[in-house]
Structure 1
Amino acid sequence: DPRGAAGGATDGESAPATGDRARRGRSALAALAAAVPDAGAVHVVNNNAAALLLCALAMAPGREIVVGRGELVEIGDGFRIPDLLESAGSRLREVGTTNRTSVRDYAAALGPDTGFVLKVHPSNYRVTGFTAEASLGELTQLGVPVVADIGSGLLAPHPLLPDEPDAATALRAGATVVTASGDKLLGGPQAGLLFGDEDVVERLRRHPAARALRVDKLTLAALEATLRGPAPPVRAALEASVEDLWRRAENLAGSLRDVGAEAVGSVAAVGGGGAPGVELPSAAVSLPARYAAALRTGEPAVVGRVVRDRCLLDLRTVRPDEDAKLREAVRRCG
């Protein structure tokens, strides 16, 4: 696939790579290109922060990156996107306010020093109330490159996550480059995924820093397996049938009725750096609260949550083939 080949097989080498790692790179990139056919080319680095850093180094060295004030995200462990981009020698041009930013704010900030406009999805928090933001489609009409950091790794629209941005839709809206995580909603290894215009992605791939940001063949193998293999745990949990969850909860509770177990309705949060605030209906096994600490320290450890003096074991993140182990773990704590 020529879209996959745009990554050079790629592992960030400045010359064509050879051997097993090169083959693994070509195969993983082909799988990624097939998953997002709207991309002119794709590339993989070691995390999403690295993907943004590479964009700044290659597309805006010594130039301005225009970004909304409400999107100046801290991504964990004290690392902040503004600091990351400025470390690449770029200058941030902040526009709008924390809660409201319009396309006019971006347009007024553009000039000869503009490297690109950055649109960041706040995938680990939400700002609600009196808010407004410019859409990606509006920003791509401004006549400058637009980098869309969608964060959570959703590659295509998902019916359960209608408000979560995805790579395919962002590219169709005209984004020059889309960056995303390989874990979170995609459910693969930690990696930074880059999709976009073929010539721009090739510039990113050929940048000297690309080698320092490359991934190893185990990551490439895990990424390919995520894209081509069975549904990873995160997708299986997301798409689990509520009816099946209730059936399993009732079966488990029935076999544990002597310890005070009940099947109850539950609410599961997607979380984990993707789809903040999104909750899904679920079913759980409810136990007396004293089970919470005993299960956490048992073998295997089982982490539930305590609600109104009951320990809830939500089954959305428990595989069906683990039900027997869960039952045994509860029995050992009885």
Structure 2
Amino acid sequence: MSAGRGHDVRRRVPRTDAVLDDDRLADARARLGRSLVKSVVVEALDRVRHGELEPDAVVDAVLADLPPTASSLVPVVNATGVLLHTNLGRAALSGAAIAAVVAAAGPTDVEFDRVTGARARRGRGALAALAQAVPEAGGVHVVNNGAAALALVATAFAQGREIVVSRGEMVEIGDGFRLPDLIESTGAKLVEVGTTNRTTVRDYLAAVGPDTGFVLKVHPSNFVVQGFTSSACVRELAVALADHQVPLVADLGSGLLRPHPLLPDEPDAATALRDGADLVTGSGDKLLGGPQAGLLLGRAELVERLRRHPLARAFRVDKLTLAALEATVRGPAAPVLEALEAPTESLCRRAEAVVALLATSGVQADVVESAATVGAGGAPGRTVASVAVRVPAGWAAPLRRGTPSVVGRVERGALLLDLRSVPPAQDPVLVTAVVAVARGGA
């Protein structure tokens, strides 16, 4: 019996606090926090109790299992070919925007005038940047996402009243959230006009009356209606509504501020305002390429009513969003635009270089043509010629689960790693991940 007790592994399990206080974990405790490190220590000690780990290897195991940051979010290489992948967080921030977020992480003058020492308008730098980028707007305001922007407009201008909208523009914006449900939750009543495929100016005018809060023009997301179709554009509606004293609101969704030559059918804020829209709403984390935010641009008096509405406080953006937004608007081209505008020839050269590097590690892959998309409801139905590295479809799951995590697209019995959605600086990371999976599979 005594011999059995002498070999009992439980007697050799180190105490939790002794492992946690080991000097080799000092940096991790400071960087990640004692509580997080302790949870990893507890898991390692459980492995010792089950005979899966030697007691003297506990600290090494803890160091190996500690996450790089205190957040559970894992960086992902987006090789799907979807430039704005909603499930992967949509737009990647530019280096300038990242630096601005880091600088704003501590105390800032977000709502403080350093000259007078008095309170100042919140986010004035970001608002000034937007106003300068879209001079067609008499006023600008920012809330925490695109849906919030539309909800604020509906509440401020149509609570207890009617909003006239085309039946063909009653979209679902993702994860089961439908535009009619969002708007009606504000207390406004939707008046749908026209049909799914055809709505005319006359349809709108026939529905406008004394109870109309505003007319809403919505850019369809994630789908395209083809065939026998027609719709009234912003310019036509603005002219028709000129004598009715009813605001025209254009929900553009994608957040494109000005026209882009590669996206001729994608509406932009500047053009919509020039065409007569009284208010334009959009998202900051789509084609603008910034943080999640809801943009409101338009007539100064309407924007001021929105800014002063009590609900605006609930939709207020934080200092990190304001910092990233200003740096995105004022700074260099956002990554999403760099990806969109990258010449196909450069993608082909990158793909060939990736395949060559993989070959030096004994990994076989080839270069194939691909088709990328904007994603996040932007430019629905439109594809952009791209280039991908093709590897076995069976590598999709281990690449997703690996470190670094790589998400591609399984198509035609193979895994395509589309380089249009991968920044060039991540090509070596992509190679490392693929080699690791190939060797693991072998």
* TM-score, with structure 1 as normaliser: 0.91
Give the corresponding residue for 2:270: 168
Matches within 5 A, 1:1-334: 18=112, 22=120, 25-141=123-239, 142-143=241-242, 144-257=246-359, 258-334=362-438
Whether the 8 Å contact between 2:171 and 2:221 is mirrored in structure 1 is no
Give the corresponding residue for 1:6: none
Q: Distance in 2 between the 1:119 and 1:227 partners?
A: 25
Whether the 8 Å contact between 1:245 and 1:283 is mirrored in structure 2 is yes
Instruction: Show CA shifts across 1:266-316 (max 9, x none).
Output: 111111221112111111111233322332222111112222332211111
Matching residue's letter, 2:278: T
Q: Distance in 1 between the 2:201 and 2:170 partners?
A: 17
Whether the 8 Å contact between 2:173 and 2:221 is mirrored in structure 1 is no
Higher RCO structure, 1 or 2 (CA under 8 Å, sep 6+): 2
**1:302 alignment partner, SS class:** strand
Q: Distance in 2 between the 1:322 and 1:181 partners?
A: 26
Shift of 1:83: 2.3
**2:405 alignment partner, SS class:** coil
**2:407 alignment partner, SS class:** coil
Matching residue's letter, 1:288: P
Whether the 8 Å contact between 1:179 and 1:192 is mirrored in structure 2 is yes
* TM-score, with structure 2 as normaliser: 0.69
Shift of 1:77: 3.0
- CA pair 306-208 structure 1, distance change in 2 beyond 3 A: closer
**2:314 alignment partner, SS class:** coil
Shift of 1:191: 0.9
Q: Distance in 2 between the 1:126 and 1:271 partners?
A: 13
Superposition RMSD in Å:
1.8
Matching residue's letter, 1:290: G
Shift of 1:32: 0.9
**1:51 alignment partner, SS class:** helix
Instruction: Show CA shifts across 1:31-55 (max 9, x none).
Output: 1111111111100011111111211
Q: Distance in 2 between the 1:244 and 1:92 partners?
A: 48
Select the structure of larger CA radius of gyration.
2
Whether the 8 Å contact between 1:55 and 1:204 is mirrored in structure 2 is yes
Whether the 8 Å contact between 2:410 and 2:416 is mirrored in structure 1 is yes
Q: Distance in 2 between the 1:202 and 1:214 partners?
A: 14
Q: Which segment drifts farther, 105-114 or 292-301? A: 292-301
Q: Distance in 2 between the 1:83 and 1:324 partners?
A: 45
Q: Distance in 2 between the 1:290 and 1:53 partners?
A: 44
User: Which structure carries more helix by proportion?
Assistant: 2
Shift of 1:261: 1.2
- CA pair 290-39 structure 1, distance change in 2 beyond 3 A: same
Shift of 1:24: 6.0
Matching residue's letter, 1:130: F
Structure 1 gaps, min length 5: 1-16
Matching residue's letter, 1:269: T
- CA pair 288-86 structure 1, distance change in 2 beyond 3 A: closer
Q: Distance in 2 between the 1:295 and 1:78 partners?
A: 29
Whether the 8 Å contact between 2:291 and 2:324 is mirrored in structure 1 is yes
Q: Distance in 1 between the 2:398 and 2:151 partners?
A: 44
Structure 2 gaps, min length 5: 1-110
**1:275 alignment partner, SS class:** strand
Whether the 8 Å contact between 1:270 and 1:277 is mirrored in structure 2 is no
Shift of 1:23: 6.4
Q: Which segment drifts farther, 20-29 or 228-237? A: 20-29
Matching residue's letter, 1:59: F
Matching residue's letter, 1:122: P
Whether the 8 Å contact between 1:123 and 1:274 is mirrored in structure 2 is yes
Matching residue's letter, 2:199: T
